[in-house]
Chain A
């Protein structure tokens, strides 16, 4: 079945450094790729998403890139801050199933 793999599972960076989280998906019909941030004890919240007709999208310090050929997409956070510390989930959905498949999550820790 459909699968989304996410790496790394944990990531520690110094404040001000960049962080990159990578995901690969298996269903070639996938056309929507959101990223969610979950702070400790809170619900997941969308931070950025990208559709298959776009290669890159930016929103201030965060960006997502998509490589459809390789079935790979990545989240880039620049100038990290302690408040970026959270668990980040990638996900993928396709137009022919309407399921949303999540990766297993990356715990990002930003040290001051």
Chain B
């Protein structure tokens, strides 16, 4: 089944404790991206990658890191999480190396930082 998977789906952590949210797609998509969703603010792009070893900042990259060593995986790393990073996070992928195609979203990861 073609899909985007994220793990974990729910995470409660404490300020400063490094964490990684994994994202994987099995559709051979070139473009992958991370978004955070907050009430009243919609979806905001954190980082995106047009292909392996190519990443770039979205609108809200502060406090996050990403890597794209393999085409299928695009992990999101929070080196020192803070309470303002409490949010719902979505990974997404699209076929070609551009934002101008349908984004296929993962199921979301709800992160709480206390």
A interface residues, Cβ below 8 angstroms from B: 1, 6, 9, 31-32, 34, 36, 43-46, 49, 51, 89, 91, 93, 95, 97-105
Contact = CB atoms under 8 A, between A and B. Distances in A.
Contacts of A51: 100
B33 A100 contact: yes
A6 B90 contact: no
B79 interface: no
A46 B105 CA distance: 9
Contacts of B106: 43
Interface string B26-55: 000001010100001111110010100000
B50 A1 contact: no
Contacts of B50: 98
Interface of B: 31, 33, 35, 40-45, 48, 50, 56, 58-59, 90, 97-103, 105-108
A98 B35 CA distance: 14
B99 A103 contact: no
A46 B92 CA distance: 12
Top 3 nearest A-B pairs (CB, nearest first) are A32-B100, A93-B99, A43-B105
Contacts of A43: 90, 105-108
B96 to A, nearest CB: 10
Contacts of B103: 34, 36, 44, 46, 100
B95 to A, nearest CB: 12
